[in-house]
């Protein structure tokens, strides 16, 4: 059901640059595009990739006490797999990222929390929006963004974010080629929205996600930050029939890179997903 590798390649105009392969470990090689300049500039070449499965390992499962966990190179969290997913929403408290154990104070580390539609069993397109966390030395920063994969992510302007803020993230598909991303900073009483229309890469509306990600920036996955813990509360999904469902029964993913598990995610009740850096 999941792909064992993912290759993203494209041919651009003369202004584009040639994609180069990147080794990720676990036998996965990605081919990625460099960002093209247009009226909207992608934030730092930031891009979400679809879920890139990583090989399971029984010895790791025994050590971490994780059972029935799916390992991914870049996704941690919960994914509902079904049909007719139209809207996904959840609220997080923005964490304070830290450099991982053994990390360098001169390296910038990052992670992201987002909600979205598609990108797991359907990898044609992803409608998503969320918050990125960056740390370098003692400097911490945040970006709020929206994205319709396979395009790059774009930063919301005029949307201040601080550690400890309560952020509600909602994505809504009005059709398979149109939709919107809305972020609300409940702490600062500020909202931003971006609408998409006429997208050529269409949604399948078969995946609904609550994800902490090791995302791509300037052609490579970023050095992954110790994000502490991210909890998606009030997590819910609305379907085309108007039914609202929770996260009970969702597929759980943890990030594993170079045979090391970096996250521990779980579902509690019908509306809470928690991911912890380990």
The yes-or-no answer on residue 217 being catalytic is: no
CA gap 247, 234 in Å, rounded: 10
Identified catalytic residue from 147, 205, 209, 213: 213
Query: Is there a contact between 57 and 246 (Cβ–Cβ < 8 Å)?
Result: no
Single out the residue of 66, 59, 58, 57 nearest to residue 27, CA to CA: 57
Backbone angles phi, psi at 44, to 5 degrees: 55, 25
Dist. CA 91–CA 159, nearest whole Å: 16
User: CB of 173 within 8 A of CB of 179?
Assistant: yes
Query: Which residue numbers are catalytic?
Result: 213
């Amino acid at each position: 059901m999941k792909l064992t590798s993912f290759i993203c390649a494209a041919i651009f105009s003369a202004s584009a640059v040639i994609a180069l392969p990147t080794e990720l470990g676990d036998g996965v090689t990605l081919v990625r595009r460099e960002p093209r300049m247009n009226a909207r500039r992608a934030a730092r070449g930031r891009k979400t990739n679809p879920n890139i499965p990583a090989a399971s390992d029984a010895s790791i499962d025994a050590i971490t006490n994780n059972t029935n966990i799916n390992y991914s190179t870049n996704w941690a969290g919960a994914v509902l797999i079904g049909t007719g997913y139209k809207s996904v929403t959840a609220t997080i408290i923005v964490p304070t990222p830290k450099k991982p154990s053994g990390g360098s104070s001169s390296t910038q580390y990052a992670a992201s929390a987002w909600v979205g539609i598609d990108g797991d069993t359907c990898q044609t397109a992803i409608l998503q929006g969320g918050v990125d966390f960056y740390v370098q030395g003692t400097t911490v920063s945040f970006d709020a963004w929206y994205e319709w994969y396979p395009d790059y992510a774009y930063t919301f302007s005029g949307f201040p974010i601080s550690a400890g803020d309560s952020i509600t993230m909602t994505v809504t598909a009005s059709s398979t080629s149109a939709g919107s991303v809305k972020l609300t900073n409940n702490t600062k009483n500020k909202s931003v929205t971006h609408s998409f229309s006429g997208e050529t890469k269409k949604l399948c509306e078969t995946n609904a996600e609550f994800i902490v990600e090791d995302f791509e920036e300037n052609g490579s996955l970023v050095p992954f930050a110790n994000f502490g813990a991210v909890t998606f509360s009030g997590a819910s999904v609305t379907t085309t029939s108007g039914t609202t469902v929770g996260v009970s029964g969702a597929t759980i993913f943890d990030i594993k890179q170079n045979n090391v598990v970096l996250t521990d995610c779980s579902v509690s009740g019908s509306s809470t997903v928690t991911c912890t850096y380990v």
